[in-house]
Amino acid sequence: MPQIFPMNWFLMSLMIMMILIFMTINFYFFSMKMPNKNMFNLNKKTKYNFKW
């Protein structure tokens, strides 16, 4: 048990760090791409508006 619990804590913290880095990369990427709005409004006849 003492050898398994720090490894689970390490993997859990590493996955949390990976998710946070991925969320920040997506946030900066879409905040840079938002003034164009050509990626999102290709068809203006669609019902659904994809807003980030």
Quote the pLDDT of residue 24: 86
38 vs 9, which has greater pLDDT? 9
Quote the pLDDT of residue 29: 74
Contact by Cβ (8 Å): 51, 33: no
Instruction: Evaluate if pTM is beyond 0.95.
Output: no
Q: Residue 31: inside a domain, yes or no? A: yes
Q: Which two tokens stand for residue 49?
A: 């508006």
Q: Residue 43: inside a domain, yes or no? A: yes
Q: Which two tokens stand for residue 13?
A: 């913290």
Domain that includes residue 13, residue range = 6-48
Counted domains in the chain: 1
Quote the pLDDT of residue 41: 54
How far is CA 29 from each of CA 35, 41, 43, 48, rounded to the nearest angstrom? 11, 17, 22, 22
Residues sharing a CB contact under 8 Å with residue 51, sequence separation 6 or more, in sequence order? 40
